[in-house]
Amino acid sequence: MRLLALALELAVLAGAAAACAAPPAAPLTATGAGGWPAGRTFVSATLTGYTLAAGTHVALTFRPDGSVSAYAGCNNLSGTGRVSGGRLIIGDIRQTQLGCEPGRMNQDEWLARFLTAKPAWNLAGDQLQLASDTVLLTLTDRSVTSPDHGLTGTRWVIDAITTGGTVASVPHGTGAYLTFDSAGHISGSTGCAPITGTAHIGSTTITVSSLAPAKGTCAPQAAAVDAAIRNTLRGSVGYTIQAGTLTLTNPDGHSLRLGV
């Protein structure tokens, strides 16, 4: 009888402990629905379990080749993934090496950990949910929330340059920007000198020609930005637009990232 009484007491205590246990900050609501959304980009709508830095959001792009890229306000993260067993499976994450303020750098690290921790997956129409035991991230298809800006008629501000495989942010206040018009002209400024020339716009490439050379001299930092921009705007330049971000890539490896 004493053994039976002890067993009943332990069962009651275990039940009480379970009832008092704190629920997870973000319950796993994902059900594994929906396959790989090739060619689609999703932007964060709500997030519980983590507070994003002011003025930032999370964007995830899923490509037909199984690669995925992520952006949370500083560096571009990339890896190869798949959906399996109701979870997003991503291997090692690579990232660019832009220098940002600590809050955004820490956010990059958090996002990399979250994505490689096999979060639960649920894709339904234009909404994607990713969830761990403590975080619930809900994203909406970017085509719904942020349609692509048109290439022509937009003032594109240059915010990052890639030279020799190294990505660097353009110093704030540089004033470097580009505009394209439907008549085939490119204009703008490198922050050091004006940009003028012609631009034949195709579906995925822009052929730049007759670019006026820089005149005068600039401070070393401004001159380096000027050179990087001009090295990109030579010949046939590939371009992609995602919402308010334009990427220009020269086959020789020089590239520019621009925003509205």
Beta-carbon contacts of 207 under 8 Å, excluding residues fewer than 6 positions away, are: 199, 200, 235, 236, 237
Q: What is the DSSP string of 37-104?
A: -TTEEEEEEEEESS-PPTT---EEEE-TTSEEEEESSSSEEEEEEEEETTEEEE-PPEE------HHH
**Which has the minimum average pLDDT: 19-33, 53-67, 154-168, 219-233?**
19-33
- For residues 233, 234, 239 and 244, what is the CA-based torsion angle, rounded to 10 degrees? 0
Q: Which of 124, 145, 166 is the last residue of a domain?
A: 145
Question: Is 10 contained in some domain?
Answer: no
What are the tens digits of pLDDT across the range 30-49? 345 779 999 999 999 999 99
Q: Position of tokens 């048109």?
A: 150
Alpha-carbon distance of 192 to 226, in angstroms, equals 6
Question: Is 31 contained in some domain?
Answer: no
**Residues 121, 174: one domain?**
no
User: Domain containing 112 — which CATH number?
Assistant: 2.40.128.270
**Residues 138, 173: one domain?**
no
Q: For residue 247, give the H/E element and its range.
A: strand 245-249
**224: domain range?**
156-259
**Residues 169, 223: one domain?**
yes
pLDDT band at 219 (very low <50, low <70, confident <90, very high): confident
Q: Which of 98, 114, 145 is the last residue of a domain?
A: 145
**Residues 44, 141: one domain?**
yes
**Residues 172, 204: one domain?**
yes
Query: Sign of dihedral through CA atoms 229, 231, 235, 237?
Result: negative
Domains identified in the chain, total number:
2
* pLDDT confidence of residue 32: 59
Q: Check: CB of residue 72 under 8 Å from CB of residue 107.
A: yes
- DSSP state letter for 152: B
**Residues 164, 134: one domain?**
no
* pLDDT confidence of residue 168: 87
What are the tens digits of pLDDT across the range 2-23? 333 333 343 433 433 333 333 3
**Residues 47, 106: one domain?**
yes
Q: Nearest-CA neighbor of 186 among 207, 167, 169?
A: 207
**Residues 178, 253: one domain?**
yes
Question: Is 33 contained in some domain?
Answer: no
Question: Is 29 contained in some domain?
Answer: no
Q: Which of 86, 121, 145 is the last residue of a domain?
A: 145
**Which has the minimum average pLDDT: 59-63, 152-156, 158-162, 216-220?**
216-220
Alpha-carbon distance of 116 to 92, in angstroms, equals 7
Question: Is 118 contained in some domain?
Answer: yes
Question: Is 99 contained in some domain?
Answer: yes
**Residues 140, 161: one domain?**
no
Question: Is 22 contained in some domain?
Answer: no
Two tokens at 246? 């334009």
**Residues 162, 135: one domain?**
no
**Residues 212, 254: one domain?**
yes
Rounded mean pLDDT of 102-121? 94
Alpha-carbon distance of 255 to 238, in angstroms, equals 9
**Residues 135, 54: one domain?**
yes
* pLDDT confidence of residue 237: 97
CA distances from residue 64 to 21, 37, 71, 81, 226 in whole angstroms, order as listed: 43, 8, 18, 11, 35
Question: Is 243 contained in some domain?
Answer: yes
- DSSP state letter for 183: T
Q: Position of tokens 């080749």?
A: 65
Alpha-carbon distance of 232 to 217, in angstroms, equals 20
**Which has the minimum average pLDDT: 1-5, 180-184, 248-252?**
1-5
